[in-house]
Chain A
Amino acid sequence: MNEPVARMPPRALALPFDPLLLLATLGLMVASLIVLAAATADDIPGQPHYYVNRQATFFTLGLILMAVISRFDYTRLRELKYGIYGVAIVLIVAVAAFGGVTKGSRRAIQLPFFEVQTSEVVKVLLVVVLAAVVVDRARDLASRQTTARIMLLALIPTALVMLQPDLGSALVYVVTAVAILFVAGVPWYRLAVLGFVGVAAISFVLAIGPAIGVNVLQKYQVERLTAFLHPTDNPGDEGYQQNQSRIAVGAGQRTGRGELSSQTRLNFLPEHHTDFIFAVVGERWGFVGSAIVLTLYALLLWRGLRILTISKNLYGALIAGGIVAMILFQLFVNVGMNIGIMPITGIPLPLLSYGGSSVLTTLIAIGLLQSIYAQGRAAAATKGRVLTM
């Protein structure tokens, strides 16, 4: 096994990559383009391919970004953690300063061809930063201070995006922070306390607060969050979207309605290129189509967890854990709201939903996973050589 190539320090381009992860990624991209083409053909008169073309552009940029990131050693990011954190905070604050208002929220910075939804990018930046801080305190994991510091670091951007307001991203930040602590091995009782505080906070925000006159969330946000519990009460407002989405998914039946997908094509299904794209899959391709898409996600997440275990160091494992949690949480909340078991939170479906910020963020994250894989394989190869020596 003494191949000459292995003696040399591995060159970046020769690094291995995870073919199954790449397969899942490309599969979801293709699915996204197919679904968008079907869903948005009638949306902009005269431009049936508007959304498909733009999404394809985002994918191309994202793939390049992913490939580049996968060739670098993610471990270098540890040193840059405070710088990255600063950038993240600046990005969120910049939206407040320069952002344009869409549908009552200030969430994105308008560029000539592109809106940057910075809260998306912060999702992956935060994973990199939090994982680094945990690694720094690896010897002191069980202490309350570690947990507190991580949560504090996560809650600052969380609070800032909630002001936009962007409740979905805020939830993603908190969930990834907890997942990183979990994977790092923070003791169960600390996690239990975190869980308790979380439940208390949610009940305060949704029920107790409004009752005593303290409104953390806007009234519409509370309504959106609770509408899924009683969707037919006010089918004109919050319940309407959820109702139409459920009808669309249900009407797809086993194999889908194909060209007859009236819920999508006649606009009964709102936001069918972004938040409710999964319902389009459900209506047009039925249970079979939904199962295929979900299988691609399962493959992606499985590879994520697998990469977690082969990481060459704790930092990589924590980043992988954070990314898997980030994608899994977004997937479940988004699909859940499409099929009427989760509230409407405005969380996109990673890779499938139309949107440059979300696409680039997810592909950066997957690039990091590939990097962890590549570094892990390379390290194992080196060690293997040492061991056999």
Chain B
Amino acid sequence: MVDPVTDRRPPITPQLALRVAIFGGVALVLFAVIFFRLWYLQVLSGDSYLAEANNNRVRELRIQAPRGEIVDRNGRVLVTNRRAIVVTIEPSTLPDSEREMAATWGQEAGQRAAKPKGKRGEPVPIPPIDNGELEQRYARLARVLGTSADAIHRDVIQQLAQVPYADVRLKTDVPRSVLNYISERKKKFPGVRVEEVYLRRYPQGQLAAQLVGTVGEISPEQLRKKRYRDLKQGTIIGQDGLELEYDSYLRGKDGMRRIQVDALGNPKGALKEQDPTAGRTVRLSLDLNLQATAQKALGNIGAGRPGSAVALNPKTGEVLAMASYPSFDPSVFTKPMTQAQYDRLTSDETGAPIFNRTIGAQYPTGSTFKIVTALAALQTGVRGADEVINDTGVFELGPQKFKNAGDAVNGAISLRQAMEVSSDVYFYQLGAKLNGLRGQVLQTWAKKLGFGHRTGIDLPGETKGLIPDRQWRKDLAAKEKSCRKKEKIPISADVYTAAAEGCGISDMRPWSAGDNVNLSVGQGDLQATPLQLAVAYSTLANGGKRIKPHLGMEVDDSQGRQLQRIQSAGSTRVKFDPANQQAILDGLKLAAEGPNGTSTDVFKDWPNDKYPIYGKTGTAERQPKADQSWYAAYVPSETKPIVVVATVEEGGFGADTAAPIVRQILSKYFFNKAGEVVRGSDTSN
């Protein structure tokens, strides 16, 4: 039954009115809260949320631009690209523990590598994976790549230790099916990227390997440099050699693809696409045919001993060949390198194939230096070109005796014959006389001809060499002194045992005339690169124009059409009397074709009337090593003049090893065939 009392409409009591009012008030407050919050989200912070929403949906993918090719002067390809599918993992997606492990291991391995060989002990072991989840991730990936979780872990640790910022390359050249498989299961492979990239390809193998250099991902330090201002993280840039020197032409411009993705990361259409711009082709002055001959001759005639050969055009500075033995295949750099591979490239036992001896190695140059002494003497008037002296085979300087090589006695000779037979006594006298003049004349002329400073070639890693002089000795003595103070070794007065007892920097004796006598024949403390010697001979041949050697010749488009010439950085003028130049050149010519010339038998049957050789042998003493063989030659020509320098470490006499190498290079250059090996028998310095 319905209660008649309550079934009647109740009047609105004040209590009900109050409660309804409170009810309405609560509703009002709740609405106000919602409106304020909406105002805050949509009106006050709308911009930042809109940015977040766009950030959600837009992914930017870089499209790698193919780097330009490097070709020789005839368009033969030295460096080009190939497509490869690579699997990488982003370091930022790895757990911190893995990255810390890499850093620690890298430190320990570095300390071990710093120790001298033989004392290093066992290689530093890589600790096992310390994270179960990571191990599963690696294992999943390993199944796809056909490797093992441990192998992936090893790669990650080793590569992160070397370059902590860059993606770790797990595998190169995987089949396309792997790309598809992983791309479709991105969620299962966090941080793993499979992409098609351009890798460098070196169709010429070991040819000019030390020149081309390497490419690699831009480092955080490089990103801050002005030179790389416009580049983004992950861009591949030249890191060494010609790749570094001409990076701005070779690099090209990466493209960008902005795509829209949904919440699961599936692409939902491209938004904007910017095509990549391929890099420019850089055409070198190098002639790969000549380069091949030079490298082959170095290897064959040098019989496996390290050496260098360089050929350049003395008028223009264009480098035609630049060889360094031993060489290597630069394609090792396109894949992650193992420690063993790296050791093979850099250790002394293997002759450090990566080392470009032509610009990086410094040696005394032996008698090839005599052109400098001759020019200094003639220009200062210390001795006339036709002044005859008596070469008795010995030059006495106080108690010291300096002898000709092989104790030869040359009798009455003037400059031309002295150059022809490579008389040391003739030049010893000059060295002593020049030392008496004010202002270190021999050193000054050495500097003018290009020794003691960088030639300015368009390659990184050139060394300066050394012209020994008074100040240099003084500085060394001061260093030795401060070192001994620190090490508490008594500063002994005995100059002969001082070096052995002290720090080994210097025997602390002052500069003496004997030093200059040694320098006059390119012995003693002189340090020069093969390229510096080539520049010196070019300067003499040019009548004083000292060129800057260069490899880059022009920048081409992909069809090989020239876009711009690479301007050589100019030359320096050295003034000397043409008569003096002629006298020295005469001497050089006699040395290569005169009856007593040091390299005459090397150039037996050479058409001297057509292509006269102006060449000088050199045999540098490098105690305790065996003598180093040198040869420097200039061949004048209206259209194709050339200067060639070759040297072989521990190669013996100049005529025996270096001169035959130069002959083959010249033969290839003028007659397009290297010809047989012709060794000379001269045994002078």
Contact = CB atoms under 8 A, between A and B. Distances in A.
Nearest to B58: A262
16 contacts: A185-B15, A266-B56, A266-B260, A266-B263, A266-B268, A270-B263, A282-B41, A290-B38, A308-B20, A308-B23, A317-B10, A324-B27, A332-B34, A339-B37, A340-B41, A380-B9
A203 to B, nearest CB: 22
B16 A251 contact: no
Given A282-B38, A339-B38, A183 B45 contact: no
Nearest to B34: A335
A339 B263 contact: no
A133 B35 CA distance: 37
Given A183-B16, A268-B263, A324 B6 contact: no
B41 A185 contact: no
Interface stretch (A95-103, A157-165, A242-250): A242-250
Nearest to A380: B9
A153 interface: no
A383 interface: yes
Contact of B262 (A247, A250, A267, A379): A267
Contact of A311 (B9, B34, B53): B9
A250 to B, nearest CB: 3
Contacts of A325: 23
Interface string A335-355: 110011100000000000000
A74 interface: no
Nearest to B9: A312
A305 interface: yes
B27 A254 contact: no
Interface in B90-129: none
Contact of A253 (B6, B31, B50, B57): B50
A294 B17 CA distance: 25
Q: Is the interface of A mostly helix, strand, loop or mixed?
A: helix
Nearest to B55: A247
B575 interface: no
A341 B33 contact: yes
Contacts of A340: 37, 41
A150 interface: no
Contact of B41 (A78, A249, A266, A379): A249
A296 B49 CA distance: 26
A79 interface: yes
A249 B46 CA distance: 8
Contacts of B264: 267
A301 B41 CA distance: 25
Nearest to B31: A298
A182 interface: yes
Given A183-B19, A309-B20, A328-B30, A287 B53 contact: no
A138 interface: yes
Interface in A249-270: 249-254, 257, 262-263, 266-268, 270
B245 to A, nearest CB: 46
Contacts of A291: 35, 38
B206 to A, nearest CB: 52
Interface string A75-100: 10011000000000000000000000
A250 B6 contact: no
A315 interface: yes
B6 A254 contact: no
Interface string A273-297: 0000000001100110011001000
Q: Is the interface of B mostly helix, strand, loop or mixed?
A: helix
Nearest to A333: B30
B493 interface: no
B53 A262 contact: yes
A317 B8 CA distance: 12
Interface in A59-81: 75, 78-79
Contacts, number: 150
A314 interface: yes
B7 interface: yes
B9 A313 contact: yes
A254 B42 contact: yes
Contact of A79 (B2, B39, B262): B2
Contacts of A249: 38, 41-42, 49
A360 B17 CA distance: 31
A250 B7 contact: no
Contact of A247 (B8, B35, B49): B49
Given A247-B53, A251-B53, A182 B10 contact: no
A313 B57 contact: no
A376 interface: yes
Nearest to A327: B27
A112 B358 CA distance: 87
B42 A314 contact: no
A322 B15 CA distance: 17
Contacts of A206: none
B27 A250 contact: no
B340 interface: no
B586 to A, nearest CB: 84
B33 to A, nearest CB: 7
Interface string B39-80: 101110111111011101100000000000000000000000
